[in-house]
Amino acid sequence: MPAKARALETYRGVVYPWHIDHIGPMNVEFYTARFDEATWHFLAAIGITPAYLKANGRGMAAVDQHTRYKEELHAGALIRITSELLEIKPKTVRFRHRMYNSETGVEVAVIDMVGVHLDTATRRSVPLPQDILERAQARTTP
């Protein structure tokens, strides 16, 4: 049986009026921004912290993402995001974010992403350190 990821809460926020587009719900730009903010908390939880990236001349680049919008959000909605590791390889991390309406508990959007670990000077992919790979694996349960 494959390992199941343990979800981690990585974001809480609110939909503000300026997040709304001309037809009424939150614009996709702001879904993407919230998922981006959740990504940095998720990566930090597995050891890819801002301090690690800066000290080692490393970065993370999104190379694939698929978003599914399931329900609209409107001004005033409280939102939360959970994140789970789907797969980690020597140079890549694949994960999923789920966005919820905090008041109703309804899942409103899901995004699957793949990030590549890279050297910021050469802009080439490089292997993740062993301790980060091990920490990420610990986020899953058999």
Residues 93, 46 contacting (CB under 8 angstroms): yes
Q: Is 61 helix (H, G, I), strand (E, B) or coil?
A: strand
Q: Which residues contact 108 (CB under 8 A, 6 or more apart)?
A: 69, 70, 71, 72, 73, 79, 99, 100, 101
Residues 38, 76 contacting (CB under 8 angstroms): no
DSSP 132: H
* pLDDT exceeds 90 at position 3: no
State the pLDDT confidence band at 1, using cuts at 50, 70 and 90: very low
- Give mean pLDDT, residues 91-113: 98
The letter for the amino acid at 71 is E
* pLDDT exceeds 80 at position 140: no
| Per-residue pLDDT at 139 | 72
Q: Round to whole Å and give the CA distance between 89 and 85.
A: 11
- Give mean pLDDT, residues 82-88: 96
What DSSP string describes 5-40?
EPPEEEEEEE--GGGB-TTSSB-HHHHHHHHHHHHH
Select from 77, 4, 63, 64 the least CA-distant residue to 34.
Answer: 77
* pLDDT exceeds 70 at position 51: yes
Query: Above pLDDT 70, what percent of the chain?
Result: 94
Residue 23 CA to its chain's centroid (Å)? 27
